[in-house]
Amino acid sequence: MTTRLPRVAILGGGVGAVTAAFELSKGKWQERFESITIYQQGWRLGGKGASGRGRHDRIEEHGLHLWFGFYENAFRMMRECYDELDRPEGTPIASVEDAFVKASWIVAEEHRLEGWTPWIVSFPEDDRRPGDFDDTPVVPSVSAYVLIWLRLLRELVASAGRPPAASARSRLQLTLKPSPSEAQFASASAEMSGAGLRLRPVGPPPPAASDSWADEAALVTVALLGIIDAFDDLDLVDDLGLIDGVLTRARDHLRRRLAHDDEGRRLWEVADVLLACTMGAFRHGLVSDPNGFDAIDEFDFVDWLVLNGADKSSARSGLIKAAVYDLTFAYRDGDPAKPEIAAGTALRGLSRMFFTFKGSIAWKMTAGMGDVVFAPLYEVLRRRGVAVEFFSRVDRLRLSPDGDRVAAVDIGRQLEVIDSDGYRPLVEVNGLPCWPAGPLFDQVADGESARGHNFESFWNRWPDAAAVTLRDGEDFDTVVLGIPVGSLRSIAPELIAADPAWERMVDGLATVNTQAFQVWLGESLGDLGCPAPSATTAGYVEPFDSYAAMDQVLDSEGWPADAGVRSLAYFCNALPTPPGPVDPADNDLPDRAAAEVKANALGFLADEVAHLWPGSVERYPNVFRWDLLVGAPADIEGPERFDSQYWRANVDPSERYVQSLPGTSRYRLDPGASGFDNLYLAGDWTRCGLNAGCVEGAVMSGMLAAGAIQGFPGTDRIVGSAGP
């Protein structure tokens, strides 16, 4: 008698779920599993990262997606995927090098008394490639990070004595060296090993202010360098209070002197934050705490910085707002007056972003995320023999009588696929396999009647073609749940009722609606007066505090030659989100939310975009040049031309961004420890090592889930999953 191999059912098709499928189906996977099947609502994979091709084959995204240079696990998966896909040389996007381009310019907008002003930073680049493991990446320990902060701090503070004419931007660029090697990290960790680290006394506080900026800066520099040496040399000292006293005097001097010197002030704000991080690492024992950065997740990041001595203006600077709060939608209930993010999660993310990137601090995709990421992954998975069941909505997970296992999964078959070989989801655009913006209705029964219905929507009311129940021991033996936490109250009520940890997770992890719009313009951003046309910008005014130029994708779109598209910009932000679960009977919510986003976009273009693109407005009268918008009929004028652009409200439970609010990390469950024998979890809402909503976190989670299913092989390959 032969024993049947286990069958794996993967619920959902976002980054975490697809990563789990990719990891499980490596090598001779049929010797380990009988089948691997992905069940996906609607017509495409991707989750919050799904994109589609609309009119003129233009790319339509869920929002603004960047990959950061520390995404080692995500880039490695894509390198493996493209290597296996082996597209012929010369075909569109044949390699990872074709798929991503460096994005080293970041702009943090600051609101000063005189108005908005951009803080433009060009980060250094090098020839290394994230995900290329010729040099094995190592995530620094907290102690190693502290030394990295101190080395940067020494350079920043020492530069305070230089004439203010020197460029703060260039000084900051020079200090951000490529991330240290494994040997350097090991050496740094060894330097700071041992318990009971104390600090030695430093010299007296700086004397009263001098009349000379340079003289005073030099005096403050001497005092601060003494403090830095106290940390860096790691001699044993008892009194943090003395350090605090010196820092308070230094902060007072520099804040007054640099109030009207933007370059010097910004340099000092970075130094001030680094000082607070260093003080906090010692004061809160992060160097020796086994929980690493997670030990301070009960605090909000800004509150923690201020608690550890940072000036409020530094802690709330444009750079912190942009890099920490705006890019992670870190606003409770989507309310810009409620910025909140767990301090440890934020500090880990900032440290990895700024100090462990390869090649470039950020990378942009050269086509839609669906085209660059999910179409290649889908093609490789299908070649391997992984099945993908589209139009398969997960309605309910049901437990066994003893409550130990998932006994059944109820599936709503949304549409009946005509071809016995299954749904063929991809279309070609200029030779590149892509996902369309809607279902290919010629492949499904009643396709013409189904047009106009959104088969990805929680509120879609098109009658299902069939109801299917998958059963434990018959259709599956192992379940990977890759559907985000925002949907779990509706699809997993039995699990929530059976396990208090699930109830705490679903109640404790906050999610937020997001909004986005895209505009195709008839002039370049440089010609419109943008000071950094290729940059990613954050920290700006609501309702759209973040945007990026995305001109690099235009070559992959299908605009007619005479359309005159010269530039493309994506905007995004959090959207105010009522607390509590969504109402499944509120069928009008998607339309109301989309109308809200459209109104927000029109208002933003009319009232706020002039600061970003001075040439986009007519000065007399001072109105937005609606004629810049490409795609509308020639006889359409004014704001009505915006109807030809693209916008969306992400309000479905599965589309909401999962936040990292203070005190909530403890509610996350490990991918391999769901509390139910045959259930594993995959997504950026799990405890994965980053505990933040991003591609890298979701990939790490999917890898951890796949490793747990197979007895944890390969999990040692996951960069960063073990801390700090």
Domain boundary assignment for the chain: 7-99+365-510+655-717, 138-355, 514-576+583-650
- Evaluate if residue 167 carries a pLDDT over 80: no
How high is the pLDDT of residue 273?
93
What stretch of H or E contains 450? Answer: helix 447-450
How high is the pLDDT of residue 198?
32
Range list of H helices, 258-414:
262-283, 301-307, 312-315, 318-320, 343-355, 369, 375-384
- Evaluate if residue 329 carries a pLDDT over 70: yes
**What is the distance of C-alpha 465 from the center of its chain?**
36
pLDDT tier for residue 213 given thresholds of 50, 70 and 90: very low
Q: What is the b/e burial string over 443-455, where b = at least 16 CB atoms within 10 angstroms of the residue's CB? A: bbeeeeebeeeeb
- With 0.85 as the threshold, say if the pTM is over it: yes
Query: Between these two residues, 344 and 148, which has the higher pLDDT value?
Result: 344
- Evaluate if residue 2 carries a pLDDT over 70: no
Q: Class for domain 7-99+365-510+655-717, per CATH?
A: alpha beta
How high is the pLDDT of residue 129?
94
The pLDDT of 122-142, averaged and rounded, is 85
Looking at 6-10, 439-443, 615-619, which range is the least confident one?
Answer: 615-619
Q: Of 475, 373, 345, 390, nearest to 19 (Cα)?
A: 373
How many other C-beta atoms can be found within 10 angstroms of the C-beta atom of residue 715?
19
How high is the pLDDT of residue 245?
66
How far CA 345 is from CA of 150, 224, 286, 313, 513, in Å, comes to 20, 28, 13, 21, 21
The pLDDT of 120-141, averaged and rounded, is 85
Cα–Cα distance, 313 to 265 (Å, whole number): 10
**What pLDDT, in 10s, does the model give residues 503-547?**
999 999 999 999 999 999 999 999 999 999 999 999 999 999 999
The pLDDT of 62-85, averaged and rounded, is 97
Q: Which amino acid is at 374?
A: F
Looking at 1-5, 129-133, 280-284, 338-342, which range is the least confident one?
Answer: 1-5
Beta-strand runs (E) in 578-632: 617-619, 622-624
